[in-house]
Amino acid sequence: MARTGRLVGALTRTARDAVAAARRRRARAGTDPRPARWQVVTVTGRPEQVLPAGRWPEPLRRLDGAVEVWARPAPGGRGTELAVRPLGGRTALPGFAAHLVGDDPGRFLRQVLRETRQLLETGEVLRADRSPPDRPGAAR
């Protein structure tokens, strides 16, 4: 009985590993059929202000063709929920975007959404001060 249990366990692990390996191969090939997770932020303003005439705001606009977007009123008068996810599976971001994000487009898209919200709400994207390694001519 114990031997049968070990065998079932081993077969289960083998099947699970095979599925995971196939999923990784599909992901590497950009053909993972599973939809990526939506990344969402809430932005001040009505949907028609966030997406005037359906036009995407910067810097989201630069991802046209690589992502899909929706916007809807947030409950309680909190503004607009703005959502974005990659088109065509998990690793479909093209070119430079793919280079930037590696295999975690979610992190990249969250950053794009944050910058989009900053632009819409404050008119600019906040910049950090130069970090110590970036300071030109810093005398140490």
Partner 1 sequence: MRALCWEGAGALAVRQVPDPELRNAHDMIVRVRRSVTCGGDLPLLAGRVPEAAAGEVLGHEFLGEVVEVGPEVRRHRVTDRVVVGAAVACGACWFCRQGLLACCDNGTSGTAAEPEWGQPAAGCYGRPARLGGFAGGHAEFVRVPYADVGAFAVPEEVDDDRAVFAADAAPAGWHGAELGGVAPGDVVAVWGAGAVGQLTAAAAVAHGAARVIVVDEHDDRLRMAARHTGAEPLDHRSVDVLAELRERSGGRGPDVCVDAAGPPPGPARWPGGGPDGGAALREAVHACRKGGTVVVLGGGSAFVDRFPLGAVTDKGLAVRGGSRAGPRAIPALLDRMARGELVTEHLATHRLPLDRGADGYALFRDRADGCVRAVFTP
Tokens of 72: 């809807």
- 4 or 131, CB closer to partner 1? 131
Burial readout 71-94 (b: 16 or more C-beta within 10 A, e: otherwise): beebeeeebbbbbbbbebbbbbbe
79 scored as a contact of partner 1 (CB under 8 A) = yes
Pick the piece of the chain touching partner 1 (CB under 8 A) from 4-12, 26-34, 48-56, 123-131. 123-131
Minimal distance, residue 47 CB to partner 1, in Å: 15
Closest to 109 in 3D by CA, of 127, 135, 85: 85
Contact residues: partner 1, CB under 8 A: 41-42, 44, 78-79, 107-108, 110-111, 114-115, 117-118, 121-133, 135-140
